[in-house]
Amino acid sequence: MNPQPNNSTPPATESGMGGSVVLAWLVVGLPLAWGVSQTFIKALALFK
Amino acid sequence: MADNSSSLLDRSRTVAGPGYNRWLVPPAALAIHLAIGQAYAFSVFNKPLGALISGDPAKPAPDDWTPLQIGITFSIAIVLLGLSAAIFGKWLERVGPRKAMLASSLCFGGGFLIASLGVHLHNIWLLYFGYGVVGGIGLGIGYISPVSTLIKWFPDRKGVATGMAIMGFGGGAMIGSPLANNLMTHFKGSAPMGVAPTFIVMGIIYLIFMQFGVWTIRVPADDWKPAGYVPSTEHNDMITTANVSADNAIKTPQFWMLWVVLLCNVTAGIGVLETASPLIQETFSDTAMGAGKGVTAAAAAGFVGLLSLFNLLGRFFWSSASDKLGRKVAYAIYFGLGTIMYALIPTLGHNLQLTLFVAVACVIISMYGGGFATAPAYLSDLFGKYQVGAIHGRLLTAWSTAGVLGPLIVHYLSDSRKAEGFSGAAAYQTVFYTMASLLVVGFISNILVHAVNERYYEKGPVTVEAGAH
C-alpha cells in the first residue's frame, strides 16, 4: 500500500496513556522476568 | 464468512481511537506468545507422563506410556501449528487480531483441559487430541495473530516490533517449565504425578492470561501512520510499497526461497537444541576432563537454560538489528557466520575448549532465534503488509516440517556414529557438519531472494475487506 497523506486520523501518540503502557508492560514483564530469573539460576550451575 | 455483527470481537470495534499509544500493542502480542511458548517446555512432562501408573519415572510399569508415545504429542502440536497458521491466516486477516487471539486462547487453554482428561483416563488419544490437535491449532492461530497488526503499527521498526512478540514465544518456555514443575510438586499427592490437575490449572491460567492480549489489542486506522514518520523515498528493490496477496505470494519463487531459509534455520537449530545436554556431558566428561572436572547433568541442564536465554535475546536483538542491516544481510550473517560456527563445534569439543564451546553454541542459538523473529519483517518487505500475517502462516509450514524431520535426522546421524564406536564430540561430528551444510543451502537460498515480480502485485488500493473473498 502506498503511503497516504494522514489528514483524517489523528496520529496515535507515543507519550499518551503512559500509565496504561507501564501497567501493560508489567503484566507481561513480571512473568517473563520470573521465567528468565528461574532459567538464569538454572544456568548458573554450568559455571560452578 | 461474512462479518456483519457488531460484536466487541469485530475488527471494526478494535480500530484504535485518537491518542491510543502504539506501545500497548507489543504487550498484547506478548501475552499471547508468552502463553503459547509453553509448548517448548512440553518436555517437562515427559517423565511424569511416562510414570502415571508406576508412580516412579525410574521404573515405568508395562502399561505406562513410552517416551516415543509421549514425544508424538509435541510433534502433533508443531505440525498443527504450521497447518493451522497456513489455513487460518486469511481468516485472521479478515476478522482481525482480537477474534483470532480469542480463538487461540480457547483452543490453547481448552487443549490443556482435554489433555488433563486424557491423563486422568490414561487415554493417549485424548492427550494427542487435546494438547496436540486442539492446542496445536491454538498455537498456530496465536503465533500469527499479532504479526500483521504489529507491522502496521510499527512500519518504521518492523523488526523491533515482531522481534518483541516472537521473543515472547522463547520466553514462554522459561515460564511454562518452572510453573509446571511447581504445580506438579504441589499436586503430586492428589493425582498420579500431579499431571492432570497441573494441566487443568495451566489451561485456566493461560486462558485468563491470554485475555489480556485479546482485550488490549487494537488495529490502526487504514490511513494511520506514526507521528513524524516519513516513509523513505530512497528506492530499495527489497522493500516494496506494493502488496501481494497470500494466494499470489505462494506462487512466487521468493516465498519458497524463504521457506527453504526457514526450514534450514530451524533444522540446524534443532541440531543444537536436541543434542545440547548429551553433547556437552559426553564431550566434556570426567574421562575427558579428569576426575571430578567433567560436566555434570545439573551443569548440562544449566547449559540448556543458557541456550534458552540466548534464544530469547537473539530473537529481539537480531530482529531489531535487521531494521538497520536489512533482512537479506541479516540472514546472510545468520547463515554465513552460522556455517563457520557449526563446523567449529566438533573441533572445540575435540580440543576440550569448554568456554569457547559454550560461547559459540550461545551465538548459534541466538541466530536461530533471530531467524525466526526476522521472518515476518522480511515477508512484509517483499510482499507488503496487506496479508503478511497469512503469508507468514503459510511460511510456518517450514517450521512444522523441520520440527518433525530435524529430530529424526539428528538422532539418526548421532546414533549411527555411536554404533560405529565414536563417542564424545566425535559422535556428533556428522550432525554438526550436516547442519553446517544445511546452512550453506539456506545462505544460497537467501542470496537468491530478489524483489517480487510486479505481475504478482495487487492492482489498485487494497483493503482488509478486499481480502475477505
Nearest-by-CA chain A residue for B28: A24
> Is B234 domain-assigned?
no
Same domain, B329 and B450: yes
> Is B228 domain-assigned?
no
> Is B233 domain-assigned?
no
Cell triple for B384: 507488503
Judging contacts by C-beta atoms under 8 Å, the chain B residues touching residue A17 are: 19-21, 24
**Average pLDDT value for residue range B5-12:** 77
**∠ CA(B457), CA(B458), CA(B461), 5° rounding?**
130
Q: Give me the torsion for CA of B376, B378, B381, B386, rounded to 10°.
A: -30
Judging contacts by C-beta atoms under 8 Å, the chain B residues touching residue A39 are: 174, 177, 305, 308-309
- B11: pLDDT confidence band, cut at 50, 70 and 90? confident
**Average pLDDT value for residue range B421-430:** 88
- B10: pLDDT confidence band, cut at 50, 70 and 90? confident
**For residue B270, what are the domain limits?**
246-458
Mutate to test the interface with B, among A4, A23, A39 (most CBs of B within 10 A): A39
Q: Give the SS3 label for residue A8.
A: coil
* DSSP category for residue B63: T
Same domain, B193 and B275: no
> Is B194 domain-assigned?
yes
> Is B124 domain-assigned?
yes
- Tell if the CB–CB gap between A21 and B24 is shorter than 8 Å: yes
Q: How far is B350 from B363, CA to CA, in rounded Å?
A: 19
Nearest-by-CA chain B residue for A14: B21
Same domain, B94 and B180: yes
Show the beta-strand stretches assigned E in B126-256.
none
> Is B232 domain-assigned?
no
Nearest-by-CA chain B residue for A10: B18
Q: How far is B24 from A25, CA to CA, in rounded Å?
A: 8
Under 8 Å CB pairs connecting chains A and B tally to 138
Picking from A12, A40, A42, the nearest residue to B16 by CB comes out as A12
Same domain, B260 and B402: yes
> Is B9 domain-assigned?
no
Same domain, B327 and B413: yes
Q: How far is B457 from B93, CA to CA, in rounded Å?
A: 18
> Where do runs of H (alpha helix) occur along B96-157?
97-121, 124-127, 135-144, 147-153
Cell triple for B45: 512432562
Nearest-by-CA chain A residue for B380: A1
The region of weakest confidence among B387-391, B407-411, B430-434, B451-455 is B407-411
Same domain, B65 and B198: yes
Q: What percent of chain B has pLDDT over 90?
A: 75
- B350 contacts B303 by C-beta, under 8 angstroms: no
Domain with B397 in it: what CATH number?
1.20.1250.20
- Average pLDDT taken over every residue of chain B: 92
**∠ CA(B192), CA(B194), CA(B198), 5° rounding?**
140
Same domain, B62 and B165: yes
Q: What is the pLDDT of residue B17?
A: 86
Name the minimum distance, in Å, from the CA of B63 to any CA of chain A: 33
Judging contacts by C-beta atoms under 8 Å, the chain A residues touching residue B298 are: 45
Judged against a pLDDT cut of 90, whether residue B446 lies above it is answered with yes
Cell triple for B414: 548421532
Q: What is the pLDDT of residues A6-48, one digit of tens each?
A: 444 445 556 567 889 999 999 999 999 999 999 999 888 888 7
- Tell if the CB–CB gap between B299 and A12 is shorter than 8 Å: no
Q: What is the pLDDT of residues B258-295, one digit of tens each?
A: 999 999 999 999 888 888 888 899 999 998 888 888 99
* Number of domains within chain B: 2
Same domain, B373 and B250: yes
Same domain, B104 and B200: yes
Judged against a pLDDT cut of 80, whether residue A3 lies above it is answered with no
Nearest-by-CA chain B residue for A9: B224
- Tell if the CB–CB gap between B174 and A43 is shorter than 8 Å: no
* DSSP category for residue B219: B
Cell triple for B127: 492427550
Judging contacts by C-beta atoms under 8 Å, the chain A residues touching residue B24 are: 17, 20-21, 24
- B191 contacts B410 by C-beta, under 8 angstroms: no
Judging contacts by C-beta atoms under 8 Å, the chain A residues touching residue B358 are: 46
